[in-house]
Amino acid sequence: MEIDPQIAATIVSNIKDVLRHEINLFDTHGHIISSTDVSRIGTYHDAAMQAARDHRTIYVDDEHQYAGAKNGINTPVVIDGQVVAVIGVTGEREAVESFGNVIRKMTEILLRENIEQTAKFNRRISQANLINQLIAQHQDSDIIRYLAASLDWDRHASHRIVVGRVTSLASIPDDATSFIPEHVFSSMPNVLVTADADECCLILNGDDSADDIVQRIAAQLESNNTKAVFGASGTTNSVEQLPRLYEQAQLALHWCLFDRSATLMHIEDLDFGLIVPSMPREAMKQFVERVFAGLDETRISAHFRTFQAYASFNGGITRAAQSLFIHKNTMQNHLDTIARDTGYNPRDLRDFSVLDTAFRLYYYLRFTTRSKAVPPHAYDFVELRSTVREYETS
């Protein structure tokens, strides 16, 4: 077992903080890999070599001298029945002899923690590499088979893909490498996960509930004042189809970021979200200009709030007016103003459809133009009432 020098330095430093003696950590060949006496690092120590070879503590004193050794004790560190290192304390035998079991156990605990952390890290790297292969347009089947076997991941089962993105990260540390906490990874042993500071990709078993898993992640994020949204694909039994499912999940996420009406969107639930992103941008602009010709942003926003309230209550004038805190006659006047400004009457079913599409395309164009554009559903009623008051005075 190779022990990283930085880990070795941490171990000797932690033990010295407790024992107040010079501490040495050796490899199994008797060479000092870390020491609180830096002048000894790299030197050979015969007592440590014998401790590793014989699986027993070796004492060094005036009567028992070893090449390269100072007085003290040297005890083997055993992990899973194998000597992986030797830990030593420098000092007179009578003063340090009682520390043998203490330093051995402390070292074993620290090494086990490092081994566990390394194993978790290696698994995360393997998962990230496997996911990158699975969603790539040009997959390497040999690498996929190897990584799937090492992770005990069933290539032939049904799977779906979920992708997520952070929308606010109030409490994420600046040095965070993943916005998903480590214990959340550990709670999903059957899910392939890769995540960085603001995005993630999960490959679930087809039978797993994407809603349940996303809810679990979202709950943990909210405890850190962090919010994220997610998009989910359909399912497939074919590894070769996973790149297509990844595109589905990305499309669902994209529309979720725009729409903001839910934390998770499934590809099966998209309607406008299936066609709007694929429309030519110039065609969108022409359509919006045809409906809102000559209207500025303030006027369009005011019309949208009226239209949204009218649509939300299925054309119910009274309830729509109440939601805007205005009189129903004022609501009627606002609808008439929309018809006069655009040439499309919200009360007419065909015209309603044109206006609905125009508003969606207008805000979608803004969303895709501005990196932090606010989609229509993000407006709250305080902003709504403020704009309505501006509308009434215009």
pLDDT at 4: 80
pLDDT at 172: 52
Residue 18 has pLDDT above 80, yes or no: yes
- According to DSSP, the residues that pair with 164 across neighbouring strands are 200, 230
**Parallel/antiparallel/unpaired status of strands 58-60 and 72-79:** antiparallel
Which of 30-39, 182-191, 348-357 bottoms out in mean pLDDT, i.e. has the lowest?
182-191
* Overall pTM > 0.85: no
pLDDT at 93: 86
pLDDT confidence of 389, banded at 50, 70, 90?
Answer: very low
Compute the distance between CA of residue 168 and CA of residue 222 in angstroms, rounded to an integer.
10
Question: Over the stretch 113-146, which tens digit does the pLDDT of each residue have?
Answer: 888 888 888 999 999 999 999 999 999 999 999 9
3-state DSSP call for residue 79? strand
Residue 212 has pLDDT above 70, yes or no: yes
Residue with tokens 């022409």: 286
Domains contained in the chain, CATH given: 5-114 (3.30.450.20), 156-276 (3.30.70.270), 279-393 (1.10.10)
Compute the distance between CA of residue 235 and CA of residue 209 in angstroms, rounded to an integer.
12
Residue 379 has pLDDT above 50, yes or no: no
Residue 372 has pLDDT above 70, yes or no: no
pLDDT at 119: 87
Compute the distance between CA of residue 312 and CA of residue 308 in angstroms, rounded to an integer.
6
312 and 321 Cβ atoms separated by less than 8 Å: no
Compute the distance between CA of residue 214 and CA of residue 82 in angstroms, rounded to an integer.
42
pLDDT at 211: 92
pLDDT confidence of 198, banded at 50, 70, 90?
Answer: confident
Q: What percent of the chain shows pLDDT beyond 90?
A: 64
305 and 393 Cβ atoms separated by less than 8 Å: no
pLDDT at 3: 83
pLDDT at 177: 54
pLDDT at 169: 64
